[in-house]
Amino acid sequence: MIPKFLVGDNTDYDDAVFIVHTEYPRFVINLEDDEVEWFDTLENENEEEATQEVQNLIQQAEEFYQREVDRYEELED
């Protein structure tokens, strides 16, 4: 089983932190500039619902990252 979200980095992008959403709709968000790269097309024909779904997923990705940072900092203490 793969987690719903993964944290990623790349030495070619020194300041960037990437969050990968592994479930439909799959995407990667760059938290440095909030750029989102979609791997799937949303099949929801209702634009308002699709917009809300995207906003919710991005918020979940940001909350996941903050939780991961908080846990890492707790381990350092």
Every domain of the chain and the residues it spans: 5-76
Q: Tell me, what's the pLDDT at 42?
A: 80
> Which two structure tokens, joined as six digits, stand for 8?
């990623």
Amino acid at 63: E
| pLDDT beyond 90 at 70 | yes
Q: Tell me, what's the pLDDT at 57?
A: 94
pLDDT tens readout for residues 8-44? 999 999 999 999 999 999 999 999 999 999 999 887 6
- Percent helix, strand and coil across the chain, each rounded to 5? 40, 20, 40
CA distance 37 to 9: 15
